[in-house]
Amino acid sequence: MAGNRIDIMDIKHLIRLKIKGLSNRKIANDLGISRNTVNEYVSFFDAQQLDYQQLLVWSEKELEELFSPKTQVEMNRFAQLAQYFDYFAGELKKVGCTKEYLWKQYLVKHEDGYRLSQFNHHLSSWLKQAKGSTKLEHKFGDKLYIDFCGKKLHYVDKSSGELLDVEVFVAILPASQYTFVYGLRTQTSQDLIHGLNACLAYLGGVPLAIVPDNMKTAVTTSHKYAPRINASLRDFARHYGCVINPTRIYSPQDKALVENAVNTVYKRIFYPLNSMTFFCIDQFNEQIRLLLDAYNDQLFTRRNTTRRQEFLALEKVHLSALPDSSYQIRYFKELTVQKMGYVYLSPDKHYYSVPYRLIGKKVHLSYDATTVEIFYKKERQALHKRAFNQGGYSTQKEHLSSAASAYSQWSLPYFQQRAEKIGEFTYHYITELIEQKSYPELGYKQAQGILMFEKLYTKDRIEKACEQAGKLTKRGYHIIANILKNNRDLQGEDEQSEFTLISLIHPNVRGPEYYK
């Protein structure tokens, strides 16, 4: 599928919705993709006689392999045919036009196109799809509309007396008009998902689609046909087996019901709450729940029934079952694996190891409050417990190359053991060097550099250099390097003036002899 290919997780959503018996048009609308794209996938599955229940348990990799280059050709061929469907429909209304005549016209332009039987099958399937009505007719269990009230409420911070804002989240099932209201601290995606978790728990089930207004926390990029959904919200929908389908731009009828619900919330809930004082958001939500229950139990104006009665009698049976646990928000990042085989997660200021063969590659991180998962080409490469010690490293030894494995063993005892083999002065110098650094890694690197001088100089010279440098208050790699480079370790004690010691730290300082 050249331009029509969709994400593997969206394919799994498509399969779930087909199992529930939804039409291709309905699936396309809920997933926010072209109907022809859905037709292509469904036709392919049917042609291959693939069972939807079986496809649902396939891994992402198995589904990827299903769409081979041969499949690509088939999808492209269907796309070529699909572009003529509207034209064919118009021609078939004319007296005397037949499908066989249209097929011959089609073959003139596409010699490698479908044979007549396949042509008739695809065209007939498309023609059977009823044209959608512009009037919105709400079905039970179909959609859940969500929005935030424009106005805010408040509670009092006990410690400061400050009034803190409460964002009021509203959700409504349009068929029964069963309503949910909940107070949140912010409109961030984290709080939005917290509100949605509470909402679905209140309903005791999951609708086919959740319909937000084009709010920034739900929709990262608005678009009339293909809006981009926040990654965490998409993951939320996958957890509950539903879809996120934002309201259509410039389509006020999509928003009317939830906006009416918001106006009713102002009257039935905001007004009573204004006369009350709360000291935490939990108290606030307890009172909202009491007012909400009364609102859902109130009779409709012209019907002898309530929202709750219609929900329980007619709508709840159409909701899907809740999963075993509520959704824990996950975040997503794309990062490049660093040279030492780690990725740096900036919110934690922490490093997590990745298999060394992926050094320099871009990987995808998915993380929640407790775990960090690292993926490459949709296959998980690493699973870490989330850590919050800033500047720290979470390492799995099997991820590291031989050089990196040695690096991971660096510690004060490790360098002390190596230094001790050179001599007592070297041992003390290396110990003090590492201990004086506020960040041990900096000391480790300099200690490694000093010990590597053994490849260029004798142990005696390194030991003598450490003895001389030990007379200074500062410790560092460059001090030892200057002593050895300038052969100062070979000078007698009489030749070592106070100036000579200072110049070990500042090698560019000019001596008294410069001014003679």
Domain boundary among 345, 379, 405: 405
The neighbour count for residue 371, using CB atoms within 10 Å, is 13
Q: Residues in the chain with pLDDT < 70?
A: 1-6, 8, 47-49, 65, 67-76, 90, 93-95, 128-137, 214-227, 247-258, 302-303, 400-409, 437-441, 492-516
Whether residues 305 and 174 fall in one domain: yes
Whether residues 335 and 469 fall in one domain: no
Helix axes 412-420, 424-435, angle to 10 degrees: 160
CA distances from 233 to 209, 237, 246, 326, 366 (A): 12, 6, 12, 13, 13
pLDDT of residue 134: 36
Whether residues 208 and 302 fall in one domain: yes
Whether residues 248 and 167 fall in one domain: yes
138 is a domain residue: no
CA distances from 319 to 136, 207, 223, 353 (A): 20, 5, 28, 42
Whether residues 430 and 354 fall in one domain: no
pTM, two decimal places: 0.49
55 is a domain residue: yes
Backbone angles phi, psi at 147, to 5 degrees: -165, 170
Contact 479, 469 (CB under 8 A): yes
For residue 238, the domain's CATH number is 3.30.420.10
What domain count does the chain have?
Answer: 4
Domain boundary among 405, 431, 454: 405
50 is a domain residue: yes
Give the helix/strand (H/E) hosting 380: strand 379-385
CA 320 to chain centre: 25
Domain boundary among 283, 318, 353: 318
Q: Which domain holds residue 13?
A: 8-128
Whether residues 268 and 307 fall in one domain: yes
Whether residues 58 and 124 fall in one domain: yes
Query: From CA 367, how far away is CA 373, in angstroms rounded?
Result: 6
pLDDT of residue 458: 93
Contact 348, 390 (CB under 8 A): yes
Contact 41, 93 (CB under 8 A): no
397 is a domain residue: yes
Whether residues 198 and 297 fall in one domain: yes
Do strands 209-212 and 143-148 pair parallel, antiparallel, or not at all (unpaired)?
parallel
The neighbour count for residue 510, using CB atoms within 10 Å, is 9
Whether residues 426 and 482 fall in one domain: yes
2 is a domain residue: no
Whether residues 273 and 361 fall in one domain: no
Whether residues 152 and 277 fall in one domain: yes
